């Protein structure tokens, strides 16, 4: 079949042709933002899930939904090694500039920009990576104490006041929140708590790996009462089938029931994998309908593509010892596994590998569902590890 007409879109953050099974959380976020806009209390929302579950895609779609309702948005992705103030400052500058174009919000938006100028200047010593150009002079005493927790609260309050004057809300969409340092995460939670107490229209829609819930609780004990944590997991079967069938039908292509069943089974319903298998099944088929034989041929190509990109880029970041630890986990199966079982597989004690485990959690490769348990953050990674390297445990 014509590869140009192939509707599937595997890729980091690529919008799928059919965003199936996420209607409920999209509506929840819409209600939270709109309640915030009119001064009603609303919890911010955290999307929690494994890699490949579609958190980034969902976050971006909800941001576009909000912008379609004339909500002022800020979009960030928190990479490892960069400070939250450095990421936030230029995006807030852009949002405040947009608000300043609104006649009703202009005066307060300009005050927000002065707050941002003071914020950046006061924190430059501690956060050297802050780079933001603002023509306005800082307003003395406004977000310029040099204390992140206090200054961020004052800055978001000023931005929220401008958004309220403009009849809108400020929605912060932040991806990969698990990489934000705990003290910076605590400052963000405190700032949001302050704006909520004063009913300023500021709301956070965040996304991160499963360990984010625990990190937020460690940063501020009241975080669990401020946020709705929504688990974004594999799609239920009807939604997974729709994610494949509907894009094909829109191109007048059918897919046989056994072929569809095989795709859902191979992908376990994870949205990213559905796109990968859908793309390669389309390319493997000579004509409609896409059959079981086409999907079997596509599976080998899809797995090779995942090994080279989705799995491979994460594997390449690991040290030899980290690779061996994950290979021992893979030997035990998909997981989760007790830390003691992994250590025994390696022929070492739990204490010996504890720092290694902590490093892998920090890198976002594994997480702890409950105390003492360890699980992969990447679905199907156990099978990849078994394909990519043999298991040779250290012998005492």
Model pTM score = 0.91
The pLDDT value recorded for residue 81 is: 77
The pLDDT value recorded for residue 396 is: 52
Find the helix or strand (DSSP H, E) in which 96 lies: helix 84-100
Residue closest to 45 by CA, chosen among 197, 180, 163, 213: 213
Residue closest to 15 by CA, chosen among 48, 63, 47: 63
Q: How far apart are CA 254 and CA 276, in angstroms?
A: 18
Digit-by-digit pLDDT tens for the chain (396 residues) are: 889 999 998 877 788 999 999 999 999 999 999 999 999 999 999 999 999 999 999 999 999 999 999 999 999 998 877 899 999 999 999 999 999 999 999 999 999 999 999 999 999 888 888 887 777 888 899 999 999 999 999 999 999 999 999 999 999 999 999 999 999 999 999 999 999 999 999 999 999 999 999 899 999 988 888 999 999 999 999 999 999 999 999 999 999 999 999 999 999 999 999 999 999 999 999 999 999 999 999 999 999 999 999 999 999 999 999 999 999 999 999 989 999 999 999 989 999 999 999 999 988 899 999 888 999 999 999 999 999 999 876 655
Q: How far apart are CA 377 and CA 146, in angstroms?
A: 36
**What residues does 231 pair with on adjacent strands?**
48
Place of tokens 């970041």: 317
The pLDDT value recorded for residue 370 is: 87
String of b and e for 153-179 (b: at least 16 CB within 10 Å)?
A: bbbbbbbbbbbbbbebbbbbbbbbbbb
The pLDDT value recorded for residue 395 is: 58
Complete domains list, the chain, with CATH: 23-231 (3.40.50.300), 235-308 (1.10.8.60), 317-388 (1.10.10.10)
The pLDDT value recorded for residue 299 is: 95
Pair of tokens at residue 42: 């609303």
Query: How far is C-alpha 116 from the geometric centre of its chain's CA atoms?
Result: 26
CB-based contacts of 271: which residues, under 8 Å, 6+ apart?
A: 16, 52, 53, 54, 57, 234, 235, 243
CB-based contacts of 130: which residues, under 8 Å, 6+ apart?
A: 83, 85, 86, 89, 120, 123, 124
Q: Is the CA virtual torsion 367, 332, 54, 305 positive or negative? A: positive
The pLDDT value recorded for residue 322 is: 95
């Amino acid at each position: 079949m014509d590869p140009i007409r192939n509707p599937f879109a595997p890729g980091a953050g690529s919008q799928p042709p059919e965003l199936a099974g996420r209607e409920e959380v999209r509506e929840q976020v819409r209600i939270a933002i709109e309640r915030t806009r009119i001064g009603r209390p609303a919890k911010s929302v955290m999307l929690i899930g494994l890699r490949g579950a579609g958190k980034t895609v969902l976050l971006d779609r909800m941001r576009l939904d909000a912008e379609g309702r004339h909500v002022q948005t800020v979009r960030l992705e928190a990479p490892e090694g960069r400070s939250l103030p450095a990421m936030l400052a230029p995006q807030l500058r852009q949002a405040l500039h947009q608000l300043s174009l609104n006649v009703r919000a202009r005066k307060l938006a300009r005050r927000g920009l002065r707050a941002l100028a003071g914020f950046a200047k006061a924190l430059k010593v501690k956060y050297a990576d802050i780079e933001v150009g603002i023509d306005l002079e800082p307003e003395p005493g406004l977000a310029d104490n040099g204390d992140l927790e206090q200054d961020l609260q004052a800055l978001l309050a000023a931005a929220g006041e401008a958004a309220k004057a403009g009849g809108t809300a400020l929605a912060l969409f932040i991806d990969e929140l698990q990489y934000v340092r705990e003290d910076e995460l605590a400052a963000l939670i405190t700032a949001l708590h302050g704006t909520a107490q004063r009913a300023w229209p500021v709301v956070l829609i965040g996304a991160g790996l499963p360990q984010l819930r625990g990190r937020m609780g460690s940063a501020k004990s009241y975080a669990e009462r401020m946020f709705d944590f929504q688990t974004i997991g594999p799609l239920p079967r009807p939604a997974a089938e729709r994610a494949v069938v509907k894009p094909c039908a829109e191109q007048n292509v059918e897919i046989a029931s056994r072929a569809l069943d095989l795709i859902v089974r191979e992908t376990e319903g994870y949205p990213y994998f559905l796109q990968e298998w859908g793309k390669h099944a389309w390319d493997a088929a000579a004509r409609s309908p896409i059959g079981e034989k086409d999907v079997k041929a596509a599976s080998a190509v899809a797995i090779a593509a995942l090994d080279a990109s989705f799995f491979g880029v994460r594997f390449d970041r690991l040290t030899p010892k980290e690779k061996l630890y994950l290979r021992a986990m893979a030997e035990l199966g998909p997981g989760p596994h007790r830390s003691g079982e992994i250590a025994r597989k390696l022929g070492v004690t739990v204490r010996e590998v504890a720092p290694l485990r902590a490093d892998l959690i920090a890198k976002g490769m594994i997480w702890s569902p409950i105390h003492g348990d360890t699980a992969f953050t990447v679905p199907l990674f156990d099978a990849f590890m078994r394909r990519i390297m043999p298991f040779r445990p250290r012998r005492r």
